[in-house]
Structure 1
Amino acid sequence: MIKPIANIVVSALSIFLLGTMSVSAVNKKNDLPEIGVVASSAISLDKEVLIGDALMRQLRGQAPIINDPLLDEYIQDLGNRLVAQADNVKFPYKFFILNSPDINAFAFFGGHIGIHTGLIFNARNESELASVLAHEVSHVTQRHIARSIEARQKSSPLQIASLLGGILLAMANPEAGMAAISVGNAASAQSSINYTRQNEQEADRVGIGILAEAGFDPNGASSFFGILAEKSRLKSTPLAFLLTHPLPESRIADARTRVASFRPRNVPESINFHLAKTRILARYYANPKRNIEYFAEIVQKQSYVFKQAAEYGLALSYLADEQFEPALKLIEGLLQNNPDNLFYLDTYTDIAIETNQHQKAIDKLSAQIVNAPFNRVLTLNLANVLIKTRDFERATSLLKDYLLINPDNMLANELLSDAYLSSGQKLEMHQVKAEVYALVAAYPRAIDELHTAYNYANNRKIEQQRIRARIEQFRTAQERLQTL
């Protein structure tokens, strides 16, 4: 279970409680005519974005979010394919992954969707995984949290606090979240459960349509429900996903009925899906020696969907066990047949760094980045190896350009901070360190870093003005966090 989330819920709860207590003061200019996306009287879209950003910053600091460029790239690309087919998309969606074996996913304000590694690992194909993402996208487009608030405007603040605290905690710690909901009176608890089931049915209906329109097999939804039902029967306690997404038998039947209205679709297996599953196992589950045995047996028995994915997992396991020679041999073989595959290039870079063959990695990455100048995997890998070779000027230039487009990327900011530190640029290092703290809502520490940076600015008046302005921005952000 993810224990640190409890601290986030306390802060988030105060935000939501203040917001619900001042419902009448909310600007209604964003009222929407569609039945499925009402609730602007409870919370405006602008405020939804602000709250979503505040929650995301706290999640970065306290939840086990994976800053893995490859998995981030994969899940964001998959999510974007679904969002492109959704209606009522009001803001960019951000998909992120938590390192947790629970089969779970959750959505919250501002288009933020979290996926647990356990969900990806237990999905049997990409359509099953996409069905869950489509479901969560639907929760956002239908504004289910805002509608929950609106449905309870007549409740007392204490009941609202109990309900929202439970909902937020249930995002990442379902058992604790449902317990929090149950502490309210029986009628309130039953009402929240019924409303949740209505939301789930609507998200199923909308999500299956998105899934089909995006080119996936709509049967992925019903088959994934089958996985959940089967696993639930084998456990003494409900699965995490089922605690936040009630799954009565009627819901499975409804999903199968909806799917029947679509033409059957034979969707080819996705190599990237299987590479992502393999990476999760090799990097985040078990230990290197156990994984070497596991993947070696799969390769030997040919019990794989893609041989490349099994070999990739074996290479990652060898690398983790510091057996660089067999790892390199496998990766070079994979790159020979697919030289632009990001999964293979990333591992090749890691091996090159470990074996002091930096220039080979730089050459390969530089050749690829010409065609994809802002790709996160290529940019962050190349910047990392350039820092190792002390080519700080090129590394910082690369990272600064990337951050102009992706300012919230934690790993890019951390790499830039490391580059400035290693090159002795203390003014710039403290400025970037402040941005890192701001990304996790640690505004007092961010302001402290900027005060330190100011001391290094000496008589550079323009730089001093810029730092003072950023300090004021962080103070405003902190005040907004406290008064939302």
Structure 2
Amino acid sequence: MMRQIRASQPLVNDPVLIEYINDLGNRLVKNAQDVNYSFEFFIIRNKEINAFAFFGGHVGIHSGLITLADTESELASVIGHEISHVTQRHLARRLEAQSRNQPLTTAAMISGVLLALVNPSVGMAALTTTMAASKQSSINFTRGNEQEADRVGIALLAQSGFDPQGAPDFFGKMAVKYRYTSKPPAMLLTHPVPESRIAEARVRAHGLETRPSAPSLNFALAKARIQARYESTAEENIAIFEDSIKKQNYTYKAAVNYGLALSLFENREYQAAKKILESLLSEDKNNLFYADALTDVYIKTKELDKALVMLSALNLLMPNNQVVTLNFANALVESSQYSEAEVLLQDYLLVKPGNFIAYDILTTVYEKQDKKALMHATKGEIFALLGAYSRAVDELQTGYNFTDNQPIVEKRIKARIIQFQDQEQKLKRL
């Protein structure tokens, strides 16, 4: 299912935002009960308000949901709710019940579930077609499931140091915002919020220790980054951030300045962006939001030495951090230090296998070094991450033709071909 999502949805392959949302999610996971595997949190570039979870601890959040939230506790409440759906096995229990009641194929159920989670308006139709006239034809969690996820999620919110009022506040905000609209957001199709449910959530939250959490700089920076990079035009965003600075309409001035710097960068005003980012980084030397943006600026202004000095220091402090590693590798490639970039990325992929961006940069590294066998093999890994196993095998077979009697590379490519063919056959059998 995750490979299908990578192939079909506009995932935000942004190391800084991925790092932020996984840090936030794992702060909740470490306090959750019945966690049997690591969770993966990802962001889909979509202004629709939605979040969903499915097997194996995969939790997707639409970018529009992050920008709608006013506090980190509100955002954490949605993530905690989705974590609770996973730990309480709601989706698994629902599919088990479906399989007992109807002779559905696994593929039909999975494809319908996937569509309904990511795009409820389309998915509901697909499920209705698949499940005929069944009364259980929607993926909406039952009222009992929702109540349980609310109860567990709100408790999890408090246990993790967030304000439990974030849950009723956010759902109440959604209910008010979309009360009179003909088309509710995707999240309300799978997570209806009647007044009774909001009231129950408020009562439940009041029963817990109230912890008004301090405003989060990283949350404010994440919102500013989404606005500057993924919403509106550069000119519009410059006007938005400059207006916020002028009216002092912000929680953190640093976050608004950061958003302005990103918008200036998108508008190719590199020197103006550099001035702001260097000032921000001087006040917060290990902030990866700033370091990531400043790396992009230094590459554009051909100040690669500055980028390498900054990233080398951060790499010693935070080895194998995805933001640092990927920016460092990119800067090394830009400065034609391909061998150093290759070693850095290979080491990173040993501990963090399956990173899409790392494979993409590594493909460029091998291409620059004219290592055709490894270049095609790495392209194969990228296609496999998208579930395109036939194309992955094609790339590997092409790479095999360039191995030039390198026994280790030949064996590795042969093994991966067999593995990908096996995965493809499993999908066909479904």
**TM bracket (short chain):** over 0.9
Instruction: State the partner residue of 1:389.
Output: 335
SS at match of 1:114: strand
1:140 aligned partner: 86
Q: Secondary structure at the match of 2:336?
A: coil
Counterpart residue number, 1:227: 173
Q: CA deviation at 1:435?
A: 0.7
**Which of 287, 303, 306 is residue 357 of structure 1 equivalent to?**
303
Correspondence 1:304-453 to 2 at 5 A: 304-453=250-399
Q: Distance in 2 between matches of 1:58 and 1:436?
A: 13
Residue 268 (structure 1) aligns with: 214
Residue 175 of structure 1, CA deviation: 1.3
State the SS of the aligned residue for 2:134.
Answer: helix
Q: Is contact 2:158–2:209 with CA below 8 Å preserved after alignment?
A: no
Query: Using the alignment, how far apart are the partners of 2:96 and 2:422 within structure 1?
Result: 28
2:189 alignment partner, one of 225, 243, 265: 243
Task: Provide closer, same or farther for how the CA distance between residues 121 and 195 of structure 1 changes in structure 2, counting only shifts above 3 A.
Answer: closer
Q: Do the aligned residues in 1 keep the contact of 2:127 with 2:137 (CA within 8 Å)?
A: no
Aligned residues: 430
* Aligned match for 1:291, one of 234, 237, 250: 237
Q: Output the CA distance in 2 between the equivalents of 1:194 and 1:272.
A: 32
SS at match of 1:471: helix
Report the Cα distance in structure 2 between the residues aligned to 1:192 and 1:315, rounded to whole angstroms.
45
Native 8 Å contact 1:159 1:188 kept in 2: no
* Aligned Cα root-mean-square deviation (Å): 1.9
| TM-score normalised by L of structure 2 | 0.96
Residue 449 of structure 1: how far off its partner (Å) = 1.1
Q: Which amino acid aligns with 1:225?
A: F
Change in Cα spacing, 1:350 to 1:143, as seen in structure 2 (3 Å) is same
Q: Distance in 2 between matches of 1:382 and 1:232?
A: 44
The code of the aligned residue for 1:424 comes to: D
Q: Structure 1 residue 459: deviation in Å?
A: 1.9
Amino acid at match of 1:72: I
CA contact (8 A) 2:128 2:138 kept: no
Q: For residue 191 of structure 1, report the CA deviation from its aligned partner.
A: 7.3
Q: Deviations over 1:182-229 (max 9, x none)?
A: 557897336757852221111111111111111100000000011111
Indicate how the Cα distance of structure 1 residues 216 and 453 shifts in structure 2: closer, same or farther if over 3 A, else same: same
Establish whether residue 63 from structure 1 lines up as the match of residue 63 from structure 2.
Answer: no
Q: How many Å separate the matches in 2 of 1:462 and 1:162? A: 41
Q: Classify the secondary structure of the residue corresponding to 1:96.
A: strand
Aligned to 1:463: 409
Q: Does 1:128 align with 2:69?
A: no
Higher mean alpha-carbon deviation, 253-262 vs 286-295, is at 253-262
- The 5 Å alignment of 1:164-179 reads 165-179=111-125
Identity %: 51
In structure 2, the CA distance between the partners of 1:480 and 1:194, relative to structure 1 (3 Å rule), is closer
Quickly say closer, same or farther: Cα 1:205–1:197, change in 2 above 3 A.
same
The letter for the 2-side match of 1:256 is: R
The one-letter code of the counterpart of 2:325 is T
CA distance 1:434–1:160, shift in 2 (3 Å)? closer
| Residue identity opposite 1:441 in structure 2 | G
Q: Tell me how far 1:158 sits from its aligned partner.
A: 5.3
Structure-2 separation of matches of 1:397 and 1:450: 21
Q: Matched residues in 2 for 1:443 and 1:83: separation?
A: 32
What is the correspondence of 1:61-140 to structure 2 with a 5 Å cutoff?
Answer: 61-140=7-86
Report if aligned partners of 1:108, 1:140 keep a CA contact under 8 Å in 2.
Answer: yes
CA contact (8 A) 2:11 2:44 kept: yes
- Counterpart CA distance in 2 for 1:393 and 1:283 is 31
| Pair 286,193 (structure 1): closer, same or farther in 2 beyond 3 Å | closer
Q: Structure 1 residues 154, 336: CA separation in 2 closer, same or farther (over 3 Å shift)?
A: closer
Instruction: Note the 1:250-265 alignment, pairs <5 A.
Output: 250-265=196-211
Report the CA distance shift for 1:327/1:464 in structure 2 as closer, same or farther (over 3 A): same
One-letter code of the match for 2:374? E
| Residues 162 and 180 in structure 1, CA contact (< 8 A), matched pair in contact too | no
- Distance in 2 (CA, whole Å) between partners of 1:431 and 1:191 is 43
Counterpart-to-counterpart distance in 2, 1:68 and 1:176: 27
Check the 8 A contact 2:115/2:123 in 1, yes or no: yes
Deviation at 1:151, TM superposition (A): 2.2
Asked if the contact 1:178/1:243 (under 8 Å) is kept, the reply is: no
- DSSP 3-state at the match of 1:370: helix
Report the residue type matching 1:79 in the other structure: G
Deviations 1:22-50 (A, max 9, x none): xxxxxxxxxxxxxxxxxxxxxxxxxxxxx
Partners of 2:409 and 2:110 in 1: how far apart?
Answer: 43
Gaps of 5+ in 1: 1-54
Distance 1:195 1:272 in 2: 32
Q: Deviations over 1:310-368 (max 9, x none)?
A: 00000000000001111111111101111111011111101101111111011011111
Unaligned runs of 5+ in 2: none
Q: Aligned equivalents of 2:378 and 2:140: distance in 1? A: 47
In structure 2, give the amino acid aligned to 1:408: G
Residue aligned with 1:157, SS: coil
Per-residue displacement from partner, 1:249-296 (whole Å, max 9, x unpaired)? 211111111111112112100000000000000000000001011101
SS in 2 for 1:207: helix
Maintained 8 Å contact 2:73/2:163: yes
Once residues 320 and 236 of structure 1 are traced to their aligned partners in structure 2, the CA distance between those partners, rounded to angstroms, is 35
Structure 2 residue matching 1:152: 3-state secondary structure: helix
| TM-score calculated relative to the size of structure 1 | 0.85
Task: Give the structure 2 partner of residue 6 of structure 1.
Answer: none
